[in-house]
Chain A
Amino acid sequence: MAQTGTVVDIKDRGYANAEILVSTDWVAEHLKDPKIRIVESNEDMLLYPSGHIPGAVQIDWTADLNDPINRDYIDGEQFAALMQKNGITPETTVVFYGDKSNWWASYALWVFRLFGHQNARLMDGGRLKWEKEGREMTREVPKYEAADYPVPRRDDTRIRAFRDQVLQHVKSGKKLVDVRSNPEFTGERLHMEDYPNEGALRGGHIPGAKNVPWARAVNTENGTFKTAAELRDIYEKEQGLSQNDDVVVYCRIGERSSLTWLVLTELLGYPTVRNYDGSWTEWGNGVGLPIEKP
């Protein structure tokens, strides 16, 4: 099996909730486990049909999780239908993985949490680690028997933040983490490199936000997460956050910040972290919203 750099065992990394992550080895051992559903979530629509982990289904953030008209997520009924279609019950352990160091997989996991599906995990290292290790991939799309999933209520209060709430958060001087790249944070660039469609009229950041680009939480060589001690060095020693802070994270549309939400909430055990999915595409275009430029 190809080497992808030394990886510290997940249980030895000091995470608040080590169970949120599973290793590629663990996934390989649970491919046929009926209590597990492996879900691939990508940015690139061609990756899943070109080959995926045997037994994995695809949940696409655009086609499956977003409302096709309103800028919002699907509702409880649509979520229940999506679960039924993919043979997922409220008891099923859903294991997410995907491209781009699990950006979209983290986003999907966060949306599942909005609907109260707690039994969700992320495959450390994502799709690329699985591929680099030369593990089995298939083009066969599995069919699962329709499962029973009661219609859940979407809870937007605990882990999701809206524009007006963020404005109050700013006025109260509470903590914000901007996970975009530094040129986006400083306002030098109005959109992420290569994503001009997701730009904004104004450059800069939400007043008081700390800039910690999302990628600092992962090891570049294999996409696995850094240890809790390494993460604390970044978010706490360097940026001055502490576990009991009320934190809002954001990026451009809320996908990169889902990964940081997961790091703070699950890996470091912060109880109050909300993802502002309106993010810079809303704030940077919003009339009258305060902006800070360095």
Chain B
Amino acid sequence: MTEKLEELLEVFSGISDRGERAELLIELADQFREVPERIATRPFPESHRVQRCESEAYVWAEPQDDGGLKYHFAVENPQGISARAMAVILDEALSGASPEEAEKVPTDICFTFFGKDLSMGKGQGLMGMVTLLKGLAKQYALARDRSSQ
């Protein structure tokens, strides 16, 4: 797990007030930046679409010169605030880290950020974002290892 992710998890696990949690998540969602055109344009490919996400979220991984990956996201549903907040969290926590580090992230971290009363519908979608991100990191690492053999 990256240091940044641990920091973020620590901040959120200390929150018990629903209002405070919502405020913090909305602040994060406000910082959302959609995937740049050099990476992807509409219609976004199905292979980058998060499964079981009602907000129609997409994830991309862009290799960096130092071997790390930068993650990009798109969220098509205008009401997809949770998905946008999750995207900002994942970008802050994992962008720049090695694909191996991203692969180690537990899929259910969304429950620490969004609280235990997160509805299962939302939980599935947000876990789906983490799953897809880890899948992209793994794909990249496999391709990289193959080409270096």
* A residues whose Cβ falls under 8 Å from a Cβ of B: 43-47, 49-50, 62-63, 99, 127-128, 131, 194-198
Contact = CB atoms under 8 A, between A and B. Distances in A.
B121 interface: yes
B52 A194 contact: yes
Q: Give the interface centre of A49, A197, A198 by most chain B CB atoms within 10 Å.
A: A49
Given A49-B19, A50-B26, A62 B117 contact: yes
A44 B54 CA distance: 12
Determine which residue in B85, B121, B125 has the highest number of CB atoms from chain A within 10 A of its CB, and name it: B121
14 contacts: A44-B81, A44-B82, A44-B119, A45-B22, A46-B26, A50-B29, A62-B117, A63-B18, A128-B79, A194-B121, A195-B119, A195-B120, A196-B124, A197-B120
A63 B17 CA distance: 11
Contacts of A198: 120
Contacts of B125: 194
A46 B19 contact: no
Given A131-B78, A194-B52, A46 B29 contact: yes
A198 B124 CA distance: 13
B122 interface: yes
Given A46-B26, A50-B26, 6 more contacts: A44-B119, A45-B18, A45-B22, A45-B117, A46-B82, A194-B120
A49 B24 CA distance: 10
Contacts of B78: 131
B89 interface: no
B46 interface: no
A46 B52 CA distance: 19
B127 to A, nearest CB: 11
B117 A44 contact: no
Given A50-B29, A63-B18, A194-B54, A43 B81 contact: no
B26 A194 contact: no
A195 B26 contact: no
B79 A99 contact: yes
A196 B117 CA distance: 14
B contact face: mostly helix, strand, loop, or mixed: helix
B23 interface: yes
Interface in B108-149: 117, 119-122, 124-125
B69 interface: no
Contacts of A47: 79, 81
A180 to B, nearest CB: 15
Interface of B: 18-19, 22-23, 25-26, 29, 52, 54, 78-79, 81-82, 85, 117, 119-122, 124-125
B22 A46 contact: yes
A46 B81 contact: yes
A197 B25 CA distance: 24
Contacts of B122: 44
B86 to A, nearest CB: 11
Interface centre among B18, B82, B117, B119 (most CB of A within 10 A): B119
Contacts of B26: 46, 49-50
The 7 A-B pairs at the shortest CB distance, nearest first, are namely: A194-B121, A46-B81, A197-B120, A195-B120, A49-B22, A194-B124, A50-B26
A63 B115 CA distance: 13
A50 B83 CA distance: 13
Contact of B79 (A49, A131, A197): A131
A195 B79 contact: no
Nearest to B81: A46
Given A45-B18, A49-B23, A50-B26, A195 B81 contact: no
A9 B47 CA distance: 43
Nearest to B121: A194
A128 B79 CA distance: 8
A94 B122 CA distance: 28
Contacts of A195: 119-121
A62 B119 CA distance: 11
B12 to A, nearest CB: 14
B125 to A, nearest CB: 8
A195 B52 CA distance: 11
